[in-house]
Amino acid sequence: MDIPKIISPDGYVNAIFDREPKADPHYSDLVRAEFLFPQVSDYITGALKEGKPWFFSGRSGNAQMGLLTDTHMPGETPAEPDVDGSRVLLKGLIRNMNPLLKNALDLFETGDEIGRLVIMDPELRIRDVRHYLHKRLFVGHRMGKGYYQGFDIKTETDPATGKECDYIEVALVPYQYCFEPAAMNRSSLNSVVKKGRSALNTIRSRQSLDLATAVLNPTDLFIGAIKISLGDIYGIIDAVVTPEAHNIVHLPARLLDPFRTFRDRQVELYHFGDTPVTLDKIRIRIRFFRSQNPLAVPLEKTRVKEGYRLCDLLTHAEVANLFSIIDNNCDSNCLGMILNKGNFVQVPRALNPNGEAQLEIIRSSLMESTQRKHRPSLPNTDDEKFKETLAKLSVLGGVNSRVFIGREFPARDVVDALRRSGLRTFLINTENPAFGDDYIKHMINLSHAPQSRCEFMRYDPDIDKLYSFYHGCFMEPDDWERFDRVRYWFAFYGSHTNAADNKLTMDLINRLAAGLGDEMGIVHGGGPGLMKEANDLARQHNIVSVGIAIELEGENQASLTTCDGLIKYKEGLRLARQDHLQKLSNLPIINTGGYGSAEELAITITSMKIHENPLAPIILLDPDNLWENSRKQTEVIAKKKYGPAFTPHLVKSCKTAAEAEEEVIGFLSHPEKWYKKNKIPADSVNKARVKASRIRKAFLRQGQVEVFEAPNLRLTTV
Are residue 155 and residue 237 in the same domain, yes or no? yes
**What CA–CA distances, in Å, run from 188 to 31, 137, 397, 517?**
21, 35, 24, 54
Are residue 411 and residue 463 in the same domain, yes or no? yes
Q: How far apart are CA 696 and CA 288, in angstroms?
A: 43
Q: How far apart are CA 220 and CA 61, in angstroms?
A: 19
Decide: 70 and 20 in contact? Cβ < 8 Å.
no
pLDDT of residue 239: 93
Nearest to 568 by CA among 711, 377, 709, 435: 435
Decide: 340 and 404 in contact? Cβ < 8 Å.
no
CATH of the domain at 466: 3.40.140
CATH of the domain at 247: 2.70.40
Statement: residue 384 has pLDDT above 80: no
pLDDT of residue 718: 47
What confidence tens digit (pLDDT) does each residue in 78-129 have? 788 999 999 999 999 999 888 888 878 888 888 888 999 999 999 999 999 9
Average pLDDT over the chain, rounded to an integer: 86
Asked whether residue 645 is assigned to any structural domain, the reply reads yes
Are residue 242 and residue 296 in the same domain, yes or no? yes
Are residue 592 and residue 613 in the same domain, yes or no? yes
Can you say whether the dihedral through the CA atoms of 116, 121, 122, 127 is positive or negative? negative
Are residue 277 and residue 358 in the same domain, yes or no? no
Q: In the listed set 97, 119, 141, which residue is the last one of a domain according to the structure?
A: 119
Span between the terminal Cα atoms of the chain, in Å: 56
Asked whether residue 188 is assigned to any structural domain, the reply reads no
Can you say whether the dihedral through the CA atoms of 341, 347, 353, 355 is positive or negative? negative
Asked whether residue 408 is assigned to any structural domain, the reply reads yes
What confidence tens digit (pLDDT) does each residue in 167-181 have? 999 999 999 999 888
Can you say whether the dihedral through the CA atoms of 303, 308, 309, 311 is positive or negative? positive
Residue range of the domain that includes 621: 490-716
Rounded-to-5 percentages of helix, strand, coil across the chain = 35, 30, 40
Q: In the listed set 51, 85, 119, which residue is the last one of a domain according to the structure?
A: 119
pLDDT of residue 30: 86
Can you say whether the dihedral through the CA atoms of 10, 368, 386, 258 is positive or negative? negative
**What CA–CA distances, in Å, run from 325 to 73, 344, 401, 553?**
48, 11, 19, 34
Strands (E) across 322-464 are located at 334-340, 343-348, 402-406, 425-429, 455-460
Question: How many other C-beta atoms are found inside a 10 Å radius of the C-beta of residue 456?
Answer: 23
Query: How many domains are there within the chain?
Result: 4
Nearest to 604 by CA among 692, 704, 664, 532: 692
Burial class (CB in 10 A: 0-12, 13-18, 19+), 540: exposed
Statement: residue 553 has pLDDT above 80: no
Are residue 522 and residue 617 in the same domain, yes or no? yes
Are residue 473 and residue 581 in the same domain, yes or no? no
The average pLDDT across 562-567 equals 92
Asked whether residue 484 is assigned to any structural domain, the reply reads no
**What's this model's pTM, rounded to 2 decimal places?**
0.82
**What CA–CA distances, in Å, run from 567 to 462, 578, 587, 635?**
17, 12, 20, 36
What confidence tens digit (pLDDT) does each residue in 663-679 have? 999 999 999 999 999 99
What confidence tens digit (pLDDT) does each residue in 524-542 have? 988 887 888 888 888 889 9
Decide: 688 and 671 in contact? Cβ < 8 Å.
no
Are residue 287 and residue 151 in the same domain, yes or no? yes
What confidence tens digit (pLDDT) does each residue in 598-638 have? 899 999 999 999 999 999 999 999 888 888 888 899 989 98
Statement: residue 556 has pLDDT above 80: no
Statement: residue 155 has pLDDT above 80: yes
What confidence tens digit (pLDDT) does each residue in 205-219 have? 889 999 999 999 999
Q: How far apart are CA 82 and CA 243, in angstroms?
A: 35
Dihedral pair phi/psi, residue 645, rounded to 5°: -65, -25
Decide: 171 and 140 in contact? Cβ < 8 Å.
yes
233: enclosing H helix or E strand:
strand 233-242
The average pLDDT across 316-326 equals 83
pLDDT of residue 146: 57
pLDDT of residue 113: 86
Q: In the listed set 83, 104, 119, which residue is the last one of a domain according to the structure?
A: 119
pLDDT of residue 177: 92
Decide: 509 and 537 in contact? Cβ < 8 Å.
yes
Asked whether residue 333 is assigned to any structural domain, the reply reads yes
**Strand pairing class (544-550; 465-470):** unpaired
Are residue 23 and residue 75 in the same domain, yes or no? yes
Are residue 433 and residue 505 in the same domain, yes or no? no
pLDDT of residue 341: 67
Dihedral pair phi/psi, residue 656, rounded to 5°: -135, 160
Statement: residue 302 has pLDDT above 90: no
* Cross-strand bridge partners of residue 594: none
Nearest to 249 by CA among 28, 34, 58: 58
Nearest to 200 by CA among 104, 95, 397, 65: 65
Asked whether residue 529 is assigned to any structural domain, the reply reads yes
Rounded percentage of the chain residues whose pLDDT exceeds 90: 48
Asked whether residue 392 is assigned to any structural domain, the reply reads no
What confidence tens digit (pLDDT) does each residue in 254-300 have? 999 888 888 889 999 999 999 999 999 999 999 999 987 656 667 78
pLDDT of residue 713: 76
Asked whether residue 191 is assigned to any structural domain, the reply reads no
**Strand pairing class (488-493; 544-550):** unpaired
* Cross-strand bridge partners of residue 93: 32, 70
What confidence tens digit (pLDDT) does each residue in 40-74 have? 999 999 999 999 999 999 988 888 888 888 888 77
pLDDT of residue 220: 93
Instruction: Identify which has the larger pLDDT, 280 or 596.
Output: 280
Dihedral pair phi/psi, residue 227, rounded to 5°: -95, 120
Decide: 521 and 490 in contact? Cβ < 8 Å.
yes
Q: Which long-range contacts (CB under 8 A, 24 or more apart) does 140-143 make?
A: 140/170, 140/171, 140/227, 141/227
What confidence tens digit (pLDDT) does each residue in 501-527 have? 678 888 999 999 998 999 999 999 888
Are residue 463 and residue 502 in the same domain, yes or no? no
179: enclosing H helix or E strand:
strand 175-179
Statement: residue 560 has pLDDT above 90: no
pLDDT of residue 124: 93
Report the half-sphere exposure of 389 (CA within 13 A, side-chain side): 23
Cα 208–Cα 211–Cα 217 angle in degrees, nearest 5: 105
User: What's the Rg (C-alpha) of the chain?
Assistant: 30
Are residue 273 and residue 315 in the same domain, yes or no? no
Model confidence at 378, in pLDDT bands (50, 70, 90)? low
Decide: 141 and 227 in contact? Cβ < 8 Å.
yes
